[in-house]
């Protein structure tokens, strides 16, 4: 019997930088909340233990062997990160070596590969890796908190199963530059990224004129939103850009990076979305998966750097939507205790509550720039011509 939703998870999965925004509590609490809410006990849902690290020989089919060797050396001797030559591999204060860096990232890659393979082989209709979503890394370089780009790995796994056309939708507030780079010349992989404009935010890319390489024009689409963009901007982005683009591409499987670092309380962006919009975004993605792909969908969580606030609730809601199950009206009674045990001092009081009111004073001005950004992306895309 086909699994409806596979949740590929382990509490210790993910990068483990010290004193860093990429906090494992984000996915740990999301899975705990989904479990406490009954999502993981729903019919057709299976929690799958994340496998061990991907072997080097398999990594080397997607990443440069010299890069893999360098990451292993830097993991064994992090002090070597101070050497000038380490910079060629992407060493920065944001993505710096620590003793288990290779192991942790290779395990994330293995989890993403398993999720993609389960969907690509037909073992599961849908799969999610709550700890996944590293989308900045390239075949020869780590970047943006990630080492081995697990979103690209999930797509490669699908291709390895014979899936021909894959649409990748990236809602993280940061441009999905690495994943776009992996498939820049592949006309059978569509990469769509909705993000805060690179004029204001890392990685300073993702503009409308980035549409894919020679022979693959239209396989990349970028919507660069202005700072202060909020819920209505994302509603418009889905309705006017993401949905029609994916429909026109007609993929066989949908892959999504579901970052929520555009939440107004997130410390790493300048956006103003609220919890209320996330169920709408997940509904739109589910609709695309059903309409275009027979329901087949691989999701990776992504960014979200206020670990006790938006990520656990948003990703628990995502898992519920992928499982086609209904959440209780209220947060589970034990949620407060679970969150406090994870050192969350003031846990959320409801699924979509905002315990700190967002500053929405810039929304009217941002709306004009949002319209211009949407028009620019649509005009640049051959799929929307």
Cβ count within 10 A of residue 196: 25
Asked about 136 being catalytic, the answer comes back as: yes
Average pLDDT, the chain: 96
User: DSSP character for 315?
Assistant: H
Report residue 93's pLDDT band, with 50, 70 and 90 as the boundaries. confident
The class (CATH top level) of 3-354+366-384 is alpha beta
pLDDT at residue 365 tops 90: no
Mean pLDDT of 369-381: 98
Report residue 362's pLDDT band, with 50, 70 and 90 as the boundaries. confident
Report residue 85's pLDDT band, with 50, 70 and 90 as the boundaries. confident
Q: What is the pLDDT of residue 135?
A: 98
Q: What is the pLDDT of residue 385?
A: 81
Q: What is the pLDDT of residue 363?
A: 84
Q: Which residues pair with 48 in a beta bridge?
A: 8
**Catalytic residue chosen out of the listed positions 4, 102, 136, 264:** 136
Helix residue ranges, H only, 25-149: 25-36, 56-59, 65-76, 101-121
Mean pLDDT of 224-235: 97
pLDDT at residue 1 tops 80: no
How does pLDDT run across 270-322, given as a tens digit for each residue? 999 999 999 999 999 999 999 999 999 999 999 999 999 999 999 999 999 99
How does pLDDT run across 321-348, given as a tens digit for each residue? 999 999 999 999 999 999 999 999 989 9
| Nearest in space to 129 (alpha carbons), one of 294, 256, 279 | 256
**Distances from the Cα of 82 to the Cα of 27, 28, 148, 246, angstroms:** 31, 32, 21, 44
| Nearest in space to 284 (alpha carbons), one of 220, 237, 230 | 237
Cβ count within 10 A of residue 65: 13
How does pLDDT run across 104-135, given as a tens digit for each residue? 999 999 999 999 999 999 999 999 999 999 99
How does pLDDT run across 16-46, given as a tens digit for each residue? 987 788 899 999 999 999 999 999 999 999 9
Q: What residues does each domain of the chain span?
A: 3-354+366-384
């Amino acid at each position: 019997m086909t699994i409806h939703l596979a949740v590929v998870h382990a509490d210790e999965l993910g990068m483990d930088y010290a004193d860093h925004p990429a906090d494992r509590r984000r996915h740990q609490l999301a899975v705990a909340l989904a479990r406490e809410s009954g999502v993981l006990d729903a019919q057709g849902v299976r929690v799958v233990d994340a496998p061990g690290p991907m072997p080097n020989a398999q990594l080397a089919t997607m990443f440069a062997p010299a890069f893999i060797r360098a990451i292993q050396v830097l993991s064994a001797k992090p002090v070597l990160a101070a050497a000038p030559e380490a910079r060629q591999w992407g060493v920065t204060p944001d993505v710096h070596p620590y003793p288990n860096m290779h192991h942790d990232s290779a395990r994330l890659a293995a989890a993403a590969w398993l999720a993609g393979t389960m969907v690509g082989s037909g073992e599961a209709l849908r799969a999610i890796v709550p700890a996944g979503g590293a989308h900045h890394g390239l075949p020869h370089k780590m970047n943006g908190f990630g080492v081995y780009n697990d979103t690209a790995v999930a797509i490669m796994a699908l291709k390895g199963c014979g899936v021909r056309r894959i649409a990748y939708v990236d809602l993280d507030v940061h441009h999905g530059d690495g994943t776009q780079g992996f498939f820049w010349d592949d006309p059978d992989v569509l990469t769509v990224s909705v993000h805060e404009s690179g004029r204001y935010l890392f990685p300073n890319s993702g503009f409308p004129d980035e549409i894919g390489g020679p022979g693959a024009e239209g396989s990349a689409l970028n919507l660069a939103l202005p700072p202060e963009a909020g819920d209505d901007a994302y509603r418009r982005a889905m309705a006017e850009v993401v949905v029609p683009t994916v429909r026109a591409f007609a993929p066989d499987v949908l892959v999504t990076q579901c970052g929520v670092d555009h939440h107004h309380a997130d410390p790493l962006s300048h956006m103003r979305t609220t919890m209320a919009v996330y169920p709408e975004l997940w509904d739109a993605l589910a609709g695309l998966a059903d309409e275009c792909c027979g329901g087949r969908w691989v999701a990776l969580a992504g960014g979200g750097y206020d670990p006790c606030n938006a990520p656990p609730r948003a990703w628990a809601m995502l898992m519920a939507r992928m499982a086609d199950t209904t959440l209780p009206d209220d947060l589970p009674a034990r949620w407060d205790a679970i969150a406090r045990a994870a050192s969350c001092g003031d846990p959320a009081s409801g699924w979509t509550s905002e315990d700190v009111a967002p500053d929405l004073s810039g929304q009217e001005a941002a709306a004009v720039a949002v319209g211009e950004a949407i028009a620019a992306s649509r005009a640049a895309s051959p799929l929307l011509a």
